[in-house]
Each structure stands twice: as C-alpha cells, then as structure tokens.
Structure 1
Amino acid sequence: MPLFNDSEQSSQSSNLDPWKIAIIDDESGVHDVTILTLKRFNFERRGVTFLSAHNGEEGLALFKMHPDIALAFVDVVMETDDAGLKLIDKIRNELNNHSTRLILRTGQPGQAPEEDVIRQYDINDYKAKTELSSLKLKSCVYTAIRSYRDITTIEKSKQGMEDVLRSSSSVLESQSLSQFGSAVLKQLLTLLNLNSSVLYLSTQHTDLYGDTKMTVLGASGDLVSLCTPGISAEIPKPIEEEVKKVLQSQTHFQSEKRFIGYYPTSKASHNILYIELDGPLDDLQRKTLEMFASNVAVIFQNLTQKEDIQQTQKELIMVLSDAIEMRSKETGGHVKRVILMTELLSEKLFMSQDFIDTIRYAAALHDVGKISIPEAILHKPGKLNDEEWEVMKTHAQKGYELLSGTDRIVAKMGAVIAKTHHEKWDGSGYPDGLAGDDIPIEGRIMAIVDVVDALLSKRCYKSPWGVEEVKSYIRENAGKQFDPIITQVLLENFDQILALRELAPDDDE
C-alpha cells in the first residue's frame, strides 16, 4: 500500500495536512493516470496525498490505517466480480465510516447495474472509467472533498458542542473556568475551519495597588498546556512581548501568521485573543472571532470574578489555619502536610471527586477550635494535668461551633472534622465517644493523618519519632484508635506519605 506525495503540490499548499485520496483498483495504469491528473490538485490551501491499494483486502487495511480518507475511488471488479461492493459494505458497516466520499468506478458497467448499486450500497457516485476525463475527474474530486469537508465540520461541531455543554455543566458544578474556556475555543476553531491553528485567550487585570496579572482562561493546540484549572500561568516570553505591545497600543494586530485581538472589559481589565494562523483570516472568520471575544469576554469576566472569590476564600482558610498553628506553637508545615495527606488517603479510598476537592481545604480547619484555648495551656512544654487536659479537649467542640453556622460545604466538612478527628474507633475518644462507622469518614481520615504527622514531627514536648516506630504504633492501634481499613491503606502507601511530607517541611528544617 504505497503512499504517494507529489513534491510539486507541497509548494502550492500551506503547512496544513493534505487531503487523502485513496485509489483502490487492480489496474496499475488507473493509479498512474489518476495521480498524474490530480497531483496538482489544491483545495482550501491544501494539496493531496494519494493512498494506493490493489484489491479489497488491501483497501480495507488502508481504511483501518487511515480513517480520515476524504475520497476513495473504488473499482467494482478486482479479485472477484463484486470485491469493490463488498469493500464498500465493510467500510460503511464494519468500520462505521460514513464520512469518506466513495466513488465506485467500473470498466464493465453492465456487470453491476448502476441503479441496483446506488440503491443497495452507500456510495456517493458511480462512474464508468471511460466517463472520467481529466476535467470531469477534477470536478468530481472538488465536489467530493467539499462534501467531505462539510460532513466532518458538522461532526466536529457536534462533538464540540457536546464538549461545551459538558464543560458548561462543569463550570456550574465546580467552577472549572479554564475547562469551559478551552471547550469554547475548540468549538470556535471547528466552526471557523481553522484546522490545527492555535487559539489562545488570556485576560489582564490591574488591581487597586497597581499589580497586574495575566491569567489563562482557555487554550487549544500547542498552548493547551498553559491552561491549568484555577491557576494563573506564565505565558511564553515571545507571546508575552507581543501581547504587551497590543495592550500598549490598545488595538488589534494581524499578520499572515498571527492575530491578536484587544478587547477591554473595564478600565482595569483587558481580554486578549491570540491566534497562530496557517494563513490570513478572511472577513467572516475575523468578524466571528471579534464577536466571540467581545461577547464571551463579558462571560469570562463574570466567571473569573466568581473564581477569584472562591480562590480568596481558600487562601483565607489557609492563612487562618496557619495563624492558629503558629499560636499553638505547632510546626510550620503541619497544615500543608495534613492537606496533602488527607487528599492522598481520600483518593486511595476511592472517595468521590467532590469529597476530595472539599477535604483538600476542610482539613486545614481541623484545629480551628484551638483559638479558644488559653496560651498557657497551648504553650505548656510538659504534660498537661487533668484539669488542663479537659480544657484542651474542648477545642474539638469549639471548632465545630465556630464552623457549623454556615451551609458552605468546606465549612460544613471542616466543622465535622474539627469535632470528630479526636474520636477513636473503639469509642474511647472525645468529645462524644463515637465508635466505628458512627465516626464520619472525614473524621477518621483526619484522625490518623493528624497523629502520623505529629509523631513524625518535632514538638515542644517531644522529639520526632522514627519511621518504623511510627508504623509500628499505627499497626498496634488499628481497630483501637484508628479505622483498620484506613490504617491498612495508609501503611500500604506510607512511602507516598513520607514523600508528601517532604513537600512542606517545618520552618526549622
């Protein structure tokens, strides 16, 4: 199955992938004449590549290897009188390929009557080989490839719309702004027939203090790696410099290889649409892009503000948690470590993604109740007496009371964790003496994570324990202090626990 690329055609076409034309015929002369006639064919700045097969079996293998064949000329009579018809049936029904345009060619028209063939088989044209003069062959190819282009565009648009709808739901559920942005951009590329061109959207915002940031809202193609959900990204320096020029001039920029659109949304915020092109935009493409940017920019602005508020809330949770740890003279990285460890355990326990996303921040609130504990008790270097211990234990209930007055999910889970992370599997914990599965799983996860991190860390009243010593303690207390299943999962992944701890070392390490 040779692949034919004509060197002369490449100079006439852009760097877009060529259209694939398959020639499936047992006569070598037919291949030669078809290639000679069509080798300079060019449609929408794309040349052609010829794929050859000489019987039905080779033809089927060709389609399995190249599902994106735009047009196939198929001979009726090859190794058998109906080899071409059988091949077409397999292409349409076994491979479920309904996009490729199939033109049946025969040197013996009477052997496969045209009306019967058109009625029974999903073909797009039926020609006697003698009918296809050079002019008619080119006309036939233009019609077929234009049809293939439209069919694939519709199919891609359908898929793109499904992606947009799915990502829209994701925005409503989890506020994944970048996922939504990338899906919209992908759909726009398809509708504008920009093929593999890269489309990139960013926004610049200057706050009250004059600090400016560039946030990736959506990307496709080679720049898609910049689009990390919920995180502002540094864009490549060459692009950054070009974007700065557009921001300074406050006007669009367009060349044959690049379009940068400037769309202000307020005095302090500007949306930038950056596109790497395979060729100059036509008027319709440019107008559609401008309509997209000017209208969708407003949507992005509103969604960005919502995402900023959520990110601010999460950052404030971390600041509050760090402040409580500092007040209680805990190690500096404790909060960050228990977040990483609870997230890992939740994943290994196959908890839902919503649960994992919530515990990631709720875990930071586990000791929020310590804000009510007198410093003399918090900072006491030695062992607490019975009276002091009773006061210390109240931090679990106090933490719950501080957080339980809201219906926000992070605070709700934080309240549960604050109250239950000192409960024990055998019912000997506090404040309510819950046992077994009556202890919420988020409390059971935090209970073991909190102890593991405390034992491995230096405290004002103790030196850090060794790894094997900690693992031995955890094993001994499975089914007593800790959920036995969670204990087993933690021990199986203890190397990962230790690796996560290295990501957030204590201040004095």
Structure 2
Amino acid sequence: MSLFKKSDEVSNTNRLAPWKIAIIDDESGVHEVTKLTLRKFSYEKRGVEFLSAYSAKEGVELFKSHPDIALAFVDVVMESDDAGLRLIDQIRNELNNHTTRLVLRTGQPGQAPEEEVIRDYDINDYKAKTELSSMKLKSCVYTAIRSYRDIKTIEKGKRGMEEVLKSSSSVLESQSLAQFGSAVLKQILTLLNLNNSVLYLSTQHTDLYGDTKMVVLGTSGDLVGLCDSGISSQIPNNIEEEVKKVLENKAHFQSEDRFIGYYPSGQGNHNILYVTLQEPLDNLQRKTLEMFASNVSVIFQNLTQREDIQQTQKELIMVLSDAIEMRSKETGGHVKRVILMAEFLAQKLHLSEEFIETIRYAAALHDVGKISIPEAILHKPGKLDPEEWETMKTHAQKGYELLAGSNRTVAKMGAIIAKTHHERWDGQGYPEGIAGDDIPVEGRIMAIIDVVDALLSKRCYKPAWSVEEVIAYLKDNAGKQFDPLITHVLLEHFDEILEIRAQEPDEDE
C-alpha cells in the first residue's frame, strides 16, 4: 500500500480551491463508500478533494504534507487498538493543528467508549460507522466544513488585525501612509473572504489651479508594490481608464470580475475602491466596502495632506539651498551632490534610518548662513583679507541662528550642520573650536564631504583638484581636520563618491 494517495475523484465546481477531506482508515471499502457518497458534494461553490491514508503513520505524513485539510475521518482501530486516538493527539499537540475538524469513526464502539474519548481527546464528533448513512454523512460534512471555514476566517482576521496594529504603530513612528493603507486593505479583504482579489484605494483631487492627480493609498494582491516608497501616482493604464469612466459617471461599476466603488467625500475629493473579483460581491460585502471607503478614507485624506505638507517643506528647502548657492556663485550641483554624499556616508556608518532620512534634507541647509554675507565677499575672485575672512566665518553661526528656533527635526539637524561643519577634529575650526567627538556626527560628516566636493570642483578662485590630490589631502588630514573613522570609510568607498558626483555634474563639466 502506498504511503498515502491523492484520489482521482475530485469535484471542483469552479476556480476556487476544493475543500480537502482526509479519510484515514485501514479498510479500503470505507474509503470507496465515503468518496462515492460525497463525490458531488459542494459548499460555497467549492467542491472536495479526497486524500487517503491507511494507517496512523500514513495519516501523520498526510497532515504534514497537507496542513490545510478541512475535515478528517479517522478510524480508531488500525495498526493498533488505539492508533486513531494516538494520531489525533499527534495532530493536535505535535503538529499544532487545531483548525482541521476531526471526526472519529469506529466499527467497535466498545473498544473506545464515547464519553471518555470526547472528554480526553480534541475531536469534533464521534460516530459508529453504522451510524453514518448517506444523509447523516453529508450533514456531518456540511457542519464540519462550515466550522473549519469560520475558524480560518477568525484566524485570518486576527492576523489581519495584528497587521493593522503594527502598521498603525509604524505610521506614528515613520508617517508611512502606504504601509498603513495596504495593511488596512488586507484586513478588509480577509473580513470579506476576498483573499485572492486585488483591492486598492485611490483618490482624485483637483487643486485651485485645475490640476488633478490620482493617488494610490494602499494596495493588495497583484498591485502590491505600487506605493512601497510612499504615495504613488503610477497606476496601470487599463485601471486608470476604468477609474476615469467611473469618475465621469459618478457611480459604482460592477461586473463579474471587478467592482469599482465611487465615494465622493467633499472638497473636490473622490474616493475610488477598485476590486478584482472571482465572483460578484454580495450585499454585505458591498456595504462593508462602502463603510470602509467612507470612514477609513478620511484618515487617508488627513495623512495625505500631512505628507503633502512634508513634501512641500522638503522641496522648499531645496529651492532655498539652490538660491543660496546661486547667490554665492558656487558650482551648480553642489547642494544636490552633498545631499547624496551625506546620505551615502551615513548609510556606510550604519547610522539609524531616521538619521539617514533627516540628513538627506538637512544637508542642503549647511550654508544657509551665507544669505547674510555681503556679495562683495562672496563674489571676490581672490583670497579674502583677514577682516573679510572673519566676516565670512560668521555664516556658520548665522545659519544656526536662522534655524535654531524651529522644533522640526530637519531644521534642528540643519542648524547643527550649519554651525559645526567648519569645526575641525583637532579643535582648530570655527565658530566654537570644539574638537573630536564633541563635534556632532552630522557636522563631522558634512565637514568632510563639503571639502571633498569643493576640492574636486572648479571655483572662481581655484581650479579643480585631481582625484589623487584629494585622496592625498584626506589621508594627510585624517585625525587633524577630519574624523579619522569617517575619513577611512569615505576613502574606502571613494569610487562610489565619484559616481555620486557624476550624477550631478556642474554645467561647465
């Protein structure tokens, strides 16, 4: 006899996976009768798949290979008088399977008294083989599979709720709208038993100037990844066209394989829920989706506005920094390059994700204090005299003072960078002459990349240095001007620093 076998008698009424029913009995006739009786069985448009094992040992292997068995009929007496009971104990306690519905069947009721078995073993029913007529067998299967379905739904709902709670926490910590939205969508899919569907929420907003945008707030199924890096507007063309029609008609659309819900929310916003289906939604599913769209989407709108504000702030920082560089007639790509280099170096120093994200924008503010320096000094082609140099040096403190009044993280780091990026490791820098680890790490990072980019660039007062000259300078000044560890890491990845510079070349290069 083979270890176990998958029956050829599979009833599959549609594309949904069939319910798996295991028959574990040493009498082949029991297998044949059970299959014959249930061959046309269907529940919720899902047929059945029969799995057979002829001993308790084979039954264990069957469950290891098929943890998603919905119902198992288990004989008590097989290779030993209590083989079935031992198998049930293994299924529940060793394999930790508490979802499969187990029906114990016996041809010798006195061998395992019913009361003792029900009390001592985690079974769901106990039947003498003579009790199970065709009708009673079908009733038993309906009850067991319905129970299995409900338990699996509860389990999935529990996991989905955990996902939502985790993602809610991540929103508070990292303002990740996309992560939160996708987790909520997964939970809705689970609750509605739409686990093989695709569902995502998008909104359309028309601003004061007539520009419209479509924003993906959360994805599931085949569309996962559209908004991994934040709010996205990259929607597949075929879906975008269908959504536009719904927006024009201002009404839901439903066919056999998709549902597009239209939910106006005021202030020019239209919430769109797009679901691909294996079968049409019922009334309960539609009402639940409508509740989701009209309530949860309010949270999404608020978070979207916050992300919009944050993105606007970051863009304004870049505009301000570019304007300062243009005023001081520095090389055109300097700001963009030091941002990329600061982020790269922070990653190689294994600093926190929050630090890396912040320095990505704060680095642009390193020379904000130059806005207070007279143009005659900024534009002087030759060497500054001592008085002019003292005036130039004030830009570090001025930059700090401009930013220090803000309680925003980017501005706080920008203030520190502005003030400390001309300090030296040996304490001979300005404005305060602090040394070593007393200089904040963001200042030490900016100190070295600002110099590297300046040396490699052509300026009005000097030609660009060669790569070899810059490397020699860094080696000579490690532990003097620059943090020796940061210098070592930068030199170790100098080829990658040069690649970053190549991404944002100056106009005259």
TM-score by length of 2: 0.92
Deviation at 1:447, TM superposition (A): 1.9
1:365 aligns to what?
365
1:311 aligns to what?
311
- Please list, as runs of the form range in 1=range in 2, the aligned pairs for 1:314-329 lying within 5 A after superposition: 314-329=314-329
1:297 aligns to what?
297
1:3 aligns with 2:19: no
Q: Which moved more, 1:92-101 or 1:485-494?
A: 485-494
1:404 aligns with 2:404: yes
**In the aligned structure 1, how far is the partner of 2:343 from the partner of 2:87?**
53
1:224 aligns to what?
224
CA gap of 1:118–1:419, structure 2 versus 1, over 3 A, is: same
**Any idea what the Cα deviations from partners look like across 1:480-501, whole Å, max 9, x if unmatched?**
2222222333334444434444
- Please list, as runs of the form range in 1=range in 2, the aligned pairs for 1:77-476 lying within 5 A after superposition: 77-476=77-476
2:43 aligns to what?
43
CA gap of 1:392–1:55, structure 2 versus 1, over 3 A, is: farther
CA gap of 1:66–1:484, structure 2 versus 1, over 3 A, is: farther
CA contact (8 A) 1:177 1:229 kept: no
Deviation at 1:361, TM superposition (A): 1.4
**Any idea what the Cα deviations from partners look like across 1:349-385, whole Å, max 9, x if unmatched?**
3323322222221111111112122233323344434
CA contact (8 A) 2:217 2:231 kept: no
Deviation at 1:450, TM superposition (A): 2.2
- Structure 2, unaligned stretches of length 5 or more? none
- Structure 1, unaligned stretches of length 5 or more? none
CA gap of 1:507–1:130, structure 2 versus 1, over 3 A, is: farther
Deviation at 1:311, TM superposition (A): 1.2
**In the aligned structure 2, how far is the partner of 1:44 from the partner of 1:332?**
66
Residue 224 of structure 2 aligns to a residue whose secondary structure is helix
1:489 aligns to what?
489
Residue 424 of structure 1 aligns to a residue whose secondary structure is coil
CA gap of 1:466–1:192, structure 2 versus 1, over 3 A, is: same
Q: What letter corresponds to residue 2 of structure 1 in structure 2? A: K
Deviation at 1:188, TM superposition (A): 1.0
Deviation at 1:404, TM superposition (A): 0.3
**Any idea what the Cα deviations from partners look like across 1:242-301, whole Å, max 9, x if unmatched?**
000011111111111111111112252211111111111111111111121122222222
**In the aligned structure 2, how far is the partner of 1:267 from the partner of 1:66?**
52
CA gap of 1:67–1:210, structure 2 versus 1, over 3 A, is: same
**Any idea what the Cα deviations from partners look like across 1:443-469, whole Å, max 9, x if unmatched?**
122222323333344434444444454
CA contact (8 A) 1:5 1:48 kept: no
Q: What letter corresponds to residue 41 of structure 2 in structure 1? A: F
Q: How much identity, in percent, do the aligned residues show?
A: 78
**In the aligned structure 2, how far is the partner of 1:47 from the partner of 1:502?**
61
CA gap of 1:370–1:39, structure 2 versus 1, over 3 A, is: farther
Q: Which moved more, 1:269-278 or 1:85-94?
A: 85-94
Q: Which moved more, 1:131-140 or 1:258-267?
A: 131-140
**In the aligned structure 1, how far is the partner of 2:110 from the partner of 2:67?**
31
Q: What letter corresponds to residue 437 of structure 1 in structure 2? A: D
**In the aligned structure 2, how far is the partner of 1:326 from the partner of 1:4?**
77
CA contact (8 A) 1:261 1:274 kept: yes
Residue 431 of structure 2 aligns to a residue whose secondary structure is coil
CA contact (8 A) 2:177 2:231 kept: no
CA contact (8 A) 1:204 1:212 kept: yes
Q: Which moved more, 1:128-137 or 1:402-411?
A: 128-137
Q: What letter corresponds to residue 352 of structure 1 in structure 2? A: S
Q: Which moved more, 1:198-207 or 1:99-108?
A: 99-108
**In the aligned structure 2, how far is the partner of 1:50 from the partner of 1:456?**
73
Q: Which moved more, 1:411-420 or 1:473-482?
A: 473-482
Deviation at 1:107, TM superposition (A): 3.3
**Any idea what the Cα deviations from partners look like across 1:95-152, whole Å, max 9, x if unmatched?**
3222222222333333333222222222212223333333222222211111111112
CA contact (8 A) 1:201 1:216 kept: yes
CA gap of 1:35–1:367, structure 2 versus 1, over 3 A, is: farther
CA contact (8 A) 1:230 1:307 kept: no
CA contact (8 A) 2:5 2:52 kept: yes
**In the aligned structure 2, how far is the partner of 1:133 from the partner of 1:495?**
79
CA contact (8 A) 2:325 2:331 kept: yes
Q: Which moved more, 1:53-62 or 1:475-484?
A: 53-62
**In the aligned structure 2, how far is the partner of 1:495 from the partner of 1:66?**
52
TM-score by length of 1: 0.92
